[in-house]
Structure 1
Amino acid sequence: MALIDTDLSFDPRDPYFPVPGAAGVEWALQVFTTTNGYGIDAERAHVREGDRVHVHADRYARLGQQVQVEAGEADVEVTRAAGVLEWSITVRHDEPIKAVKLLLRGLPPEQLRAGWWTPNTGRGWAHGVNGQRFQLEYPGSDWATPWVAAGDEPNGLVLSVRDPLVRRKILHVHQPPYAPGPIAELVHVPSATARSTTCRVPSIRLRLGTTGHSADADLDEHMSFVEGSQNLVPWSSRPDVPDWLRRTALVVTLHGQHWTGYVFNTFAQMAEALRFVARHIDPSRVLAYLPGWEGRYYYAYPRYRPGEDLGGAAGFAALAQTARQLGVRLMPMYGGHGANVIEYPAWERAALRNDTNRYVELLNRPDWDSDRVGEGDQVFLNPGEPDFRAHLVESISAMVRDFGVDAAFLDTLGYWFNDPRYEVIDGYRRLADELHHRHPGLVLATEGWWDALTAIFPLSQQWFGADRDLRKPRVLTRYGRTTGHLAEGTPGPGSTGVHERGFLRRPPDVAREAHIPVVGIADDTLPAHAEEVAAICRWAREHAPE
């Protein structure tokens, strides 16, 4: 059962407290350790009201208020200034704190009925319309920065978190049977690497009665904060974006070898595909993306050398020479997390761990061979672990040194994990820094994007299945560029090549700001669908950036 469908089967009976200058809006607090959940003990909550509300509680109660627990204290101050309500929350508990939840009720009902949207929500779409339950998680595909609005733009509200660190945020909106109206829950999850008996929640801000102008201004203030805290640099002045990437008009996905060993294209066939593409678009504006170049896709991870069945080192060298002669840039694909335990015996040192460090998180086990059972030897590793990160750095550096590749794509790094041993975002930053130190002109790309991740990777594949017509595209376009996902089907029947999705019809090309079109080449693409590939190249040429 999905986490969004799990809930308490009883009323937690939390005491609610007033919000200054916002009649009808109330808040409550819940604190979670690794062993239980707690609310403020209603009998021991001391409230001071005025132009600000301060609540101090020196005792907790288990959820439901049946059992009081002398385990710590909570201090919450709510202030109002310039139309913004701000919560400052500090909690202490005898046990390490896993999460802190702020609950809001009494928010304007007409705005909640209209639904909630984030900057990267698709235009004309909203979450939770007419009271439907929903959940957003930052960082992730639905919530690219912890800023969210409810209601139509001329009349709405804005809820945001000003956190200088990358930590999980969850927004869950529902109306349980015991509640008189909808409850908006905003959960802060501290990093497991720094879990403590004290938690200071970053500033939570609520702006009621917004107009389109004031909501946009609030978003701009939020992104200014993110720029400062995450070193997020505008695309126009990023030092990790060479001129050729600014001019790139088309990504050509050259599928190599499937997990099963099936070969879509040898290196010689890839070179021929690039020659074909070069007849229909300026090849200096083409980036060739190579998944499955290392041999059996995902099976060979993290052993990254040219696959023998595709032509080996000599075949890859010939491909690289053809690309250089044409002016095409090459971007091999690497697993940012993935590894086959057979190929990487040291996997246990680097495997992602659960937040209490008690077991390995077994993640992402596709059914590669269609026996309808996920494969058993695939694990996810943490680039924050020094040896695995060094392995990735050396593997990528070897391809730059030996073949002169121009870019490296690191799969799955858009996913965030709360590993208590190594911060994943710190691992991503160190990985990028070490590669840029060795190879200043190397472009780094990844799957998915969110605010702090875009500060590290200027190019990403748009999340699979996510809408490209963003409500507030500047949260992406000001800083980075995206291209189509690996699983976008190739021309014709829509083979997804080395990916596990099978066949998916290729979506029609629509010009989107900061989105680079993609065309995939599988085994039958050019023999059977050459004219469609040529038409895509011409379309990309016509819509190329200046």
Structure 2
Amino acid sequence: MNKKNFFSFIIFLFSLVSYPQFGTIGYDFKDPYISFEGLQFAVRLSTDNNIYCPNPKEISVNKLSKDEVVLRSNSLSAAGGQLISEGFIELKIKKGDEALISISARASHPTELGKTILVLIKGIDVESMVSEQPQAKGVQAFTQKKGIRVSYPSRAATMPLVFFTSSEKEWYVLSKDREIRRKGFACTYDYLSDEPLVLLSHDADMRKIDTSIQAPEWVLGYGRSRIDVVKERCDDLEQYFKSTPYFNKPKQHTQWIDQLKVVTFLHGIHWTGHLFNTYKQMEEQLEWMAKTIEGRQIMAFLPAWDGRYYVNYPEHEPNPRMGGKEGLKQLVKKAHSMGVKVILMFGGPNLSTFEFLKKK
């Protein structure tokens, strides 16, 4: 056995011994939990320097009513209680309608930046987590005590929403965030209490990061159909972003979409540089299609119209090998003369080049 394999084997043995006993953080973090509606809840703050929970020696638990409880601490605990820091943390839990619980959390540190606020939940006997279609890896079984997780926004979670299935019921967790900010959903196994542990995380907007952080309301519930909960998220989007449902939009804005019969993908250049189609070749293919079907019933989507796929993002310019600016203009002009709609692919969030970042 060579040295590399030997050390890999030692690490593997260590993981078998340590993980089952202590969990992923490696020791008892000593989170103070509060009980509510048959579940247990705790909260943590992650900063740019450490991870904290409420100081168990200074927490206060106030029952505001039979349906609402608040946990507060005016100091923070880290390293399983070995380190105490100034700060503030609060977890508020409220019972709403039948089978619905509202969760909110906030925290602050005098000098460290608040990156993430985490809510921990015990009492749900998780069997699987569902966030999207199986093709998007949105269905994960919780088996053999192996942790599962998903991040929003992503292909595996296009909404800040997941369902946790158990043998008795299916739970859902929905964030009521009015902005698009990163969320995390996970289930791991707590070997100290010998049960599944559900984790909900809210990340700060890094453009506005501060020493304080507040998680938007989480809604935890059960007894509703998946489609009903998804509709609630759609209603939230319409309200938060003032978007109008498609079928309520003026006909002059949607009629062209209703007429479509074919959406064709005309790919430009592979990320390795292989040229699939020039603008002229795309034009010829659309002409051929328009002989069979009316142009107004065709939409052409052009990925990699600007050169090597993903390579130059977020800059987008007509590619010289494909025909340059004039070639693209001629393609669009010809397509429009036939009634064909043309959509160019853009990928702005991918800041892949330092040259772009240096530009003013």
Task: Give TM-score scaled by structure 2 length.
Answer: 0.80
Q: Is structure 2 residue 80 aligned with structure 1 residue 64? A: yes
The verdict on how the C-alpha distance between 1:236 and 1:312 changes in structure 2, with shifts beyond 3 A counting, is same
Partner of 1:117: 130
- Residues 67-118 of structure 1 show CA distances to partners (whole Å, capped at 9, x for unaligned) of 222x1122222221322222232322212211111100012x2xx22x2223
Q: SS of the counterpart of 1:185?
A: strand
State the alpha-carbon separation in 1 of the partners of residues 293 and 105 from structure 2.
56
1:82 to 86, 97, 100: 97
Q: Is structure 2 residue 340 aligned with structure 1 residue 348? A: no
Shift, 1:303, TM fit: 5.9
- Residues 244-271 of structure 1 show CA distances to partners (whole Å, capped at 9, x for unaligned) of 2332222222222345554322332222
Root mean square deviation of aligned Cα: 3.1
2:294 to 260, 279, 282: 282
Task: Note the residue ranges of structure 1 that are not aligned, 5 or more in a row.
Answer: 351-386, 388-546
Contact in 1 for aligned 2:54/2:72 (Cα 8 Å): no
Q: Which amino acid aligns with 2:140?
A: H
Partner of 2:281: 269
- Hey, which bits of structure 1, 4+ residues long, moved more than 6 A? none
Partner of 2:5: none
The verdict on how the C-alpha distance between 1:224 and 1:29 changes in structure 2, with shifts beyond 3 A counting, is same
State the alpha-carbon separation in 2 of the partners of residues 139 and 11 from structure 1.
31
Partner of 1:483: none
Partner of 1:252: 264
State the alpha-carbon separation in 1 of the partners of residues 175 and 206 from structure 2.
19
Q: Is structure 2 residue 117 aligned with structure 1 residue 106? A: no
- Residues 389-427 of structure 1 show CA distances to partners (whole Å, capped at 9, x for unaligned) of xxxxxxxxxxxxxxxxxxxxxxxxxxxxxxxxxxxxxxx
Shift, 1:154, TM fit: 9.1
Q: SS of the counterpart of 1:43?
A: coil
State the alpha-carbon separation in 1 of the partners of residues 229 and 309 from structure 2.
44
Q: Is structure 2 residue 201 aligned with structure 1 residue 175? A: no
Contact in 2 for aligned 1:27/1:104 (Cα 8 Å): yes
State the alpha-carbon separation in 1 of the partners of residues 172 and 309 from structure 2.
44
State the alpha-carbon separation in 2 of the partners of residues 234 and 99 from structure 1.
33
The verdict on how the C-alpha distance between 1:9 and 1:316 changes in structure 2, with shifts beyond 3 A counting, is same
Partner of 1:528: none
- Residues 416-475 of structure 1 show CA distances to partners (whole Å, capped at 9, x for unaligned) of xxxxxxxxxxxxxxxxxxxxxxxxxxxxxxxxxxxxxxxxxxxxxxxxxxxxxxxxxxxx
Q: SS of the counterpart of 1:233?
A: coil
Matches within 5 A, 1:448-467: none
The verdict on how the C-alpha distance between 1:195 and 1:304 changes in structure 2, with shifts beyond 3 A counting, is closer
Q: Is structure 2 residue 81 aligned with structure 1 residue 53? A: no
The verdict on how the C-alpha distance between 1:162 and 1:42 changes in structure 2, with shifts beyond 3 A counting, is same
State the alpha-carbon separation in 1 of the partners of residues 115 and 351 from structure 2.
29
Contact in 1 for aligned 2:33/2:40 (Cα 8 Å): yes
Q: Which amino acid aligns with 2:164?
A: A
Partner of 1:307: 319
Shift, 1:238, TM fit: 4.2
State the alpha-carbon separation in 2 of the partners of residues 125 and 139 from structure 1.
12
User: Across the two proteins, how many residue pairs are aligned to each other?
Assistant: 332
Q: Is structure 2 residue 204 aligned with structure 1 residue 190? A: yes
Identity of aligned residues (%): 23
Q: Which amino acid aligns with 2:336?
A: R
Shift, 1:298, TM fit: 4.8
Task: Note the residue ranges of structure 2 that are not aligned, 5 or more in a row.
Answer: 1-18
State the alpha-carbon separation in 1 of the partners of residues 75 and 314 from structure 2.
50
Contact in 2 for aligned 1:14/1:63 (Cα 8 Å): no
Partner of 2:13: none
